[in-house]
Structure 1
């Protein structure tokens, strides 16, 4: 293995080779993640007979592990060997995937406990390693090429996620539940993920690490994190982030459980829904970025957040529809909406946290935001899992009846189990959106104005459709119109700010 020590000087050739490895390495790290997290991990836990509480604890692991990034900051500052930390934590953490693969052939509580312990170990070492990795990457990539390099890396990550997502869906579809073949499929996924993760660590070890600057005055974590907590506007953002993450993660980790256990679909269909959501996310992410630059991040959040919350609540509809074909169509439409809207939410929350951070203090502000996210998102699925049995033993029946002289009909509504979770996420999410309205961001506008400009341009585009190219253009966000609308809005605001005579006349 190459040296894990930092270099006082990194040549241009070494830097270029490191950047090439950085892009290619994404295929292996992304592969390890795609085959062992999210829907696959939940489906695997269900395959082993996990309870709802166990599912909730598993879902909380990636979030709660992020709390280790705070002491990891001190570890990086003390050792000042980021490559050594990143590589060793990656090897130890991803070796847990091999242990998780072995649990596929066991039954009972023991393999579930081993799976849980391995997941927390993996996430914990990953959090420490990512703290070192992020600062190392920032020093390795030149300022003027960081965006280009990360874009190429993202393409690799996206491609491998989609490809392996489709492959996993097919593999699960051709095997029977609770069969030896299904055991082998899950074991194979985690074993391949382990191998891909170790290859990733080997490639990372070959990348050069520029030595960190000389250590200045040591700053405690308390001193580092105090200023963000005293910033009134930033605290408003933190309340929004906490309530939003709690609402979302109270329900979404149990989508797989709901679709498999309550609706009776196979895990392969859940994987297909995950792919649908990822495709929607990819298609609109760039356009949400353009809108956030032109209309401010808060304006984008004011549109995306309600759509996402509505989609969670609308999952209740899947249990009310009798035709299974219509249920599938309904779930596909909801996952398209969730994939598109969560892209805007994730982008805007990250951007607004950076935007509200004073220059030179962004690290502390983002660290506080990440900590609040970890606590809220980590506790929500645990609480959800613990309350699952409570809701499972309760049901709410409503009968909506319409009568007229000519005819009458009735619509029965039955809410059970996970339906209550999705409804509960609604008011919590609406409270989060209310808290967002109190956050002040320079340049924000009314969401209605942004939507009006988008719809107006869409109408113009539809009128001009005369070819396939015209049809394609109608589906894109109107960049030029958005710019013109923004300029006009600024002009109107400038006119309003003009000083008026004391008698109020113009």
Structure 2
């Protein structure tokens, strides 16, 4: 049988083989993404001589490419061969990355920026179509009961590999520049390595079995396929949350590095180390959140990780009062630790909850619509953030606390700065307000197994306490840093199962 044809019955052996190849493909795809995005994409563009407008356009290609989800839904529903579509479009996307990498070597003079932008556009849009068919495909491969822990392990391993590769690539740019005497060609080598990871991952996907899609209703119009997710009352709540949360994360995330480099004055090496701290925290908490999501629900995890990110946004303005001061670095460390915890939660469960709420056999339309809404919000978010930052660039709101030993002596007053908002600080505050709205929209979503936020927090805090303060010595303490004590969950199963059973019998309020 041809490699791209779906199978009628998926047995345990086929599923196990598929999960293994999906795991390794995740490592390759994540490594490719980290070596192409982040600081490397604008770095390559600047080396080619791109203007600020082109750099902004390149930064918006990833969210804009989510618009391709709509035609991709129709294509998947029409053809029904998800494996074939994923491999073909992912392969074409990654070949476009190879072409983009060769731009500094072979592009005619004066055309480098245009060709690089064109190839990167093909890369992102091809990847978006492949992602649409892949999302539907993986829902039929990964068992629902273990989806959280499986995807968490996959994401944790991919993040660890990606962090190592991005750190090595970042420090190798200078050496490659000395070899080629051209910064653009140094970045081109990084892009070629990224393309190599991506193409190898595409080859791995050919070994993953594809269950046959459920037959679509013969008389069903294509428009009804796109409208159905919006008409689904509960899934529509998720669409509002996805759009609001995507807006929050993208608008704020676009300015984190700029704030640290320009406003606080941290060197690039310091920014890289803080990012690495956040990624290490990510790796640890992926498994924590994944197991909790399997025991309780994705919504329970999001109900804790979403407000943690809002707390992060509200803390950022306090790193300058109004300039760098003694608590700036400790606050940044705290922000990146909290950021690693919260982003691990919503990166894992925001996708998982969409997978769980999408009806089996209709995942393509549901997941594609969810990605489209999130992508649309992410497209306009950095533009609005830039407008807010520009408008408040020379404006300031400050609050000072004054202490006088004698109210008659004005000269002896001691001013203690309590709050200072200027420029990008207003972007973070606006993002926090949108994040609170997203938190509200999350509370309206109905998902089986959801428990109170306090129960989830208890499990996380117990895990962290045991990791840091175990009495068994340094060696045991370091071991617990990399292994979540899941036996705690078993101890609380009886207390939480009664709550879940009552909710199930009573139904949604």
Q: What band does the TM-score fall into relative to the shorter chain?
A: 0.7 to 0.9
- The answer (yes or no) to whether the contact 2:14–2:209 under 8 Å persists in 1 is no
| Partners of 2:142 and 2:458 in 1: CA distance | 40
Question: Is residue 62 of structure 1 aligned with residue 62 of structure 2?
Answer: yes
| Partners of 1:135 and 1:203 in 2: CA distance | 18
User: Deviation per CA, 1:138-158, whole angstroms, max 9, x where unpaired?
Assistant: 677899999998677556533
Measure how far apart 1:371 and its partner are: 2.2
Counterpart of 2:426 in structure 1 is: 420
Ranges in structure 2 where 5+ consecutive residues have no aligned partner: 407-411
- C-alpha distance 75-110 of structure 1, shift in aligned 2 (>3 A): same
Counterpart of 1:169 in structure 2 is: 170
| Partners of 1:490 and 1:144 in 2: CA distance | 16
Counterpart of 1:448 in structure 2 is: 454
- C-alpha distance 457-47 of structure 1, shift in aligned 2 (>3 A): closer
Q: TM-score, normalised by structure 2?
A: 0.78
Find the residue that maps to 1:465 and give its secondary structure.
coil
Measure how far apart 1:124 and its partner are: 0.5
| Partners of 2:16 and 2:234 in 1: CA distance | 42
Counterpart of 1:503 in structure 2 is: none
- C-alpha distance 238-472 of structure 1, shift in aligned 2 (>3 A): same
Measure how far apart 1:483 and its partner are: 4.4
| Partners of 2:337 and 2:247 in 1: CA distance | 22
Question: Is residue 37 of structure 1 aligned with residue 37 of structure 2?
Answer: yes
- C-alpha distance 398-467 of structure 1, shift in aligned 2 (>3 A): same
Counterpart of 1:488 in structure 2 is: 495
- The answer (yes or no) to whether the contact 2:314–2:432 under 8 Å persists in 1 is yes
- C-alpha distance 435-75 of structure 1, shift in aligned 2 (>3 A): closer
- C-alpha distance 411-103 of structure 1, shift in aligned 2 (>3 A): farther
Counterpart of 1:410 in structure 2 is: 415
User: Deviation per CA, 1:344-366, whole angstroms, max 9, x where unpaired?
Assistant: 12333333334444555454433
Measure how far apart 1:307 and its partner are: 0.9
| Partners of 2:467 and 2:158 in 1: CA distance | 33
Measure how far apart 1:429 and its partner are: 1.0
Measure how far apart 1:167 and its partner are: 0.1
Counterpart of 2:71 in structure 1 is: 71
Find the residue that maps to 1:367 and give its secondary structure.
helix
Counterpart of 2:445 in structure 1 is: 439
- C-alpha distance 93-382 of structure 1, shift in aligned 2 (>3 A): farther
Counterpart of 1:308 in structure 2 is: 309
| Partners of 1:211 and 1:449 in 2: CA distance | 37
| Partners of 2:234 and 2:479 in 1: CA distance | 39
User: Deviation per CA, 1:67-109, whole angstroms, max 9, x where unpaired?
Assistant: 3233223323444554553344234322333454466699x99
Measure how far apart 1:327 and its partner are: 4.1
Once the two structures are superposed, the pairs formed by residues 307-456 of structure 1 within 5 Å of their partners are: 307-320=308-321, 327-358=328-359, 361-385=362-386, 387-392=388-393, 394-405=394-405, 408-412=413-417, 414-452=420-458
- The answer (yes or no) to whether the contact 1:89–1:129 under 8 Å persists in 2 is yes
Find the residue that maps to 2:396 and give its secondary structure.
strand
- The answer (yes or no) to whether the contact 1:395–1:417 under 8 Å persists in 2 is yes
Find the residue that maps to 1:75 and give its secondary structure.
helix
- C-alpha distance 29-303 of structure 1, shift in aligned 2 (>3 A): closer
- C-alpha distance 405-48 of structure 1, shift in aligned 2 (>3 A): farther
- The answer (yes or no) to whether the contact 1:56–1:253 under 8 Å persists in 2 is no
Q: TM-score, normalised by structure 1?
A: 0.78
| Partners of 2:148 and 2:456 in 1: CA distance | 27
| Partners of 2:28 and 2:377 in 1: CA distance | 30
Measure how far apart 1:425 and its partner are: 0.7
Measure how far apart 1:54 and its partner are: 4.8
- C-alpha distance 165-317 of structure 1, shift in aligned 2 (>3 A): farther
- The answer (yes or no) to whether the contact 1:162–1:278 under 8 Å persists in 2 is yes
- C-alpha distance 296-75 of structure 1, shift in aligned 2 (>3 A): closer
- The answer (yes or no) to whether the contact 1:252–1:312 under 8 Å persists in 2 is no
- The answer (yes or no) to whether the contact 1:306–1:430 under 8 Å persists in 2 is yes
Ranges in structure 1 where 5+ consecutive residues have no aligned partner: 499-506
Question: Is residue 6 of structure 1 aligned with residue 13 of structure 2?
Answer: no
Counterpart of 1:502 in structure 2 is: none
User: Deviation per CA, 1:329-355, whole angstroms, max 9, x where unpaired?
Assistant: 433331221121111123333333344
Measure how far apart 1:311 and its partner are: 1.1
How many pairs does the alignment contain? 495
- The answer (yes or no) to whether the contact 1:458–1:478 under 8 Å persists in 2 is no
Counterpart of 1:465 in structure 2 is: 471
* Aligned-residue RMSD, C-alpha: 4.7
